[in-house]
Amino acid sequence: MSKTLYDKIWDDHLVHEDNDGTALLYVDRHLVHEVTSPQAFEGLRIQGRQVRKPKLTLAVPDHNVPTTDRSKGISDKQSKIQVDTLRNNCKEFGINLFDVNDKRQGIVHIIGPEQGFTQPGTVIVCGDSHTATHGAFGSLAFGIGTSEVEHVLATQTLIQKKSKNFRVNVNGSLPAGVTSKDVILKIIGTIGTAGGTGYVIEFAGEVIRNLSVEQRMTICNMTIEAGARAGLIAPDDKTIEYFKDRPMSPKGENWTKAVDHWKKLFSDSDAKFDKEVNIDAKDIEPLVTWGTSPQDVSPITGEVPDPEKEKDKDRRTAMYRSLEYMGLKPKMKISDIKVDKIFIGSCTNGRIEDLRMAAKLLKGKKIASDVSAMVVPGSGLVKKQAEEEGIDKVFKNAGFEWREPGCSMCLGMNEDQLSSKERCASTSNRNFEGRQGRGGRTHLVSPGMAVAAAIKGYLADVREIN
C-alpha cells in the first residue's frame, strides 16, 4: 500500500495500538529545557521512577538565560532556580546537559540538528511547541506538555492518536527578496492559524527542494503557527550532506546503514493526502504581520486591512482588538509604520545562514538613529562561526548589539523585553499580545526585512536595500 512520509515514520515507531487507534509511539530523541521539565522530573521522583533511556535525551537551558555577560551567573532569582534545577535533575537522572557556559549551549531546536542529535526518520519530542522545526530533516517532531515529558522520560514512548495527512506544495521559484520566512507566513496567511489543526503537514514542491536545510527549518518551525501537529520535509542529498560528521551523527558502518534508511523516507508518488494546498511562489512578496495572530500578514507594499471589510463577525472583532493593541489605523500604509526595536534571532531565524543574509545587506550601513537593534545567535557555535566570518563586526559597526545565545526577546523570559507600546520588527515566530513584553508590539519579518527596518526606522522593503 502506498504511504506518505508521515505514515512511514508513524508505522516504524508503533510499539502498540489499541482497538480505538490510540497508539504507543517510540520516541528516539527527547530534548529537554529548563521551563517545561522541572515538574516532570519532580513527578518521577515522587513516584520513584527512573529515566528509561537517559542516552536518548539531551538537555539545555535556553529560555531563561541572560544574553549579556554570563560570567557572574544569573541574577534573576527565579530563572536561576530553574536553570539550577535542570542541572541537578540531569545529574540525578544521568542526562547529557549543555550547561550555560558550554560552547554548545543554545536554543534547543538549533542545537539538536547542529549536534546531529536530530536525525531523519526519527520521532523527536520536546516540551516546546516549536519542536516542529526538526521536521525539516524528515523527522516526525512535535511539542508535548510537561505530563507527556514525564511520560517519555519514564517509558521512552508517547501516547498518540494519528493525525491526518496534509500536503502543501510550493511551486515555481522565489522572487528576489523573498525568503523561506515569507513562504511560511504566506502559508499561514492562506490556511489560517487553525488551518492545520488535526494534521501533519508535509511541505513539498520545487521551492522547498531548492531551499537549504536551514531555510527549511524556518518553514517547519512555524508549522505550529498553522495549528498542525508537525511539519515534515522529505530528506534529500542536502539533508544527508548536512549530517555528515556532526558530533552525534552515526559513524562508520552505521552511517552507511543510516543513509540507506534515510533514502527511503519520502511519500510514495501515489500516496493519498486528506488535504492538499498549492501555492505559487510568484505570488509571494516580502511579508510582515500587522496584527496579533501570525495569520495577520500583509505584503510590505500593502496596507493595514480594514476590519469593516471582514464578513466574519468574530474575525472582525478580533481584528479591531488587534489594531487597537498594535496602535494601528485601518488602511494606513505598512511602510509608514515606525519601529523602535529590531530583534534578529530565535529558533525561526537565529542560524548562521540567517545572520549571513542579514549581514550581507547591512554591510557598510548604519541603523536609524532612533532605533535600537540586537542580534542573538541561536547557539554558541553559531556565534563562534559568525565571529570567525567577521559577521559580528558588521552588526556592531552598524549599531546592533551582539549578544550571547538563547531565546531572548522571542518570548522575553529574561531581561530582553519590549516595554509597553514599543514596536519591534522581529524575526521570531509569535506576535501574540504581550509575547515580547507587556504591551509590546511585534511585527514578524524575515532577517532581511529586519535589516531593512533597522536601516530605515520603519517597516521597509528589503528589495529597496542594496
Q: Which residues bind ligand SF4 (CB under 6 A)?
A: 62-63, 107-109, 128, 130, 346-347, 407, 410-411, 428-429
Which of 321, 356, 363, 365 lies at the binding interface for another protein (CB under 8 A)? 321
Beta bridge partners of 303: 333
Report, in Å, the least distance between residue 38 CB and another protein: 4
- Report the residue from 3, 42, 299, 365 that binds another protein according to the rule CB under 8 A: 42
Q: Which of 70, 315, 384, 463 binds another protein (CB under 8 A)?
A: 315
Choose between 99 and 433: whose C-beta lies nearer to another protein. 433
- Contact (CB, 8 A) for 63 and 407: yes
Calpha distance 442→454 (Å, rounded): 14
Q: Could you say which of ligand SF4, another protein, none residue 171 binds, taking C-beta under 5 to 8 angstroms by partner kind?
A: none
CB under 8 A: which stretch of 133-141, 234-242, 248-256, 352-360 binds another protein? 248-256
For another protein, the binding residue among 99, 310, 389, 433 (CB under 8 A) is 433
3-state secondary structure (DSSP) of residue 62: coil
Give the other-Cβ count within 10 Å of 304's Cβ. Answer: 22
Output 173 or 317, the one with its CB closest to another protein.
317
In the complex, minimum distance from the CB of residue 346 to ligand SF4, in angstroms, rounded to a whole number: 4
Residue 346 binds which of ligand SF4, another protein, none (CB < 5-8 A, kind-dependent): ligand SF4
Q: Which does 39 bind (CB under 5 to 8 A by kind): ligand SF4, another protein, none?
A: another protein
Determine how many CB atoms are found less than 10 A away from the CB of residue 422. Answer: 17
| Residue type (1 letter), 188 | I
Q: Which does 261 bind (CB under 5 to 8 A by kind): another protein, ligand SF4, none?
A: another protein
Task: Give the whole-angstrom CA distance, residue 322 versus residue 29.
Answer: 38
Report the residue number, 289 or 428, with the smaller CB distance to ligand SF4. 428
Whole-number Cα distances in Å, 154 to 18, 124, 170, 347: 20, 16, 40, 28
- For strands 23-26 and 157-160, give the pairing: antiparallel
CA distance 2 to 98: 41
Identify the three-state secondary structure at position 118. coil
Least gap, CB of 434 to ligand SF4 (angstroms) = 14
Q: Which of 144, 168, 213, 284 binds another protein (CB under 8 A)?
A: 144
Q: Is residue 208 within 8 Å of 219, Cβ to Cβ?
A: yes
Helix (H, G, I), strand (E, B) or coil at 339: coil
Choose which of 70, 96, 155, 307 interacts with another protein (CB under 8 A): 155
Task: Please give the grid coordinates belonging to residue 231.
Answer: 511539519
Cβ contact 153:262 at 8 Å: no
How many residues in total does the chain contain? 466
Closest contact distance (angstroms) between CB of 141 and ligand SF4 is: 13
> Nearer Cβ to ligand SF4, position 8 or 341?
341
Interhelix angle for 391-398 vs 380-388, to 10°?
A: 90
302 binds, among ligand SF4, another protein, none (CB under 5 to 8 A by kind): none
317 binds another protein, rule: CB under 8 A: yes
Select the binding partner of residue 82 from another protein, ligand SF4, none (C-beta < 5 to 8 A, by kind).
Answer: another protein
Q: Which of 115, 129, 180, 218 binds another protein (CB under 8 A)?
A: 129
Q: What's the min distance (Å) between Cβ of 337 and ligand SF4?
A: 23
Measured at the CA of 349, the angle between CA 344 and CA 353, to 5 degrees, comes to: 100
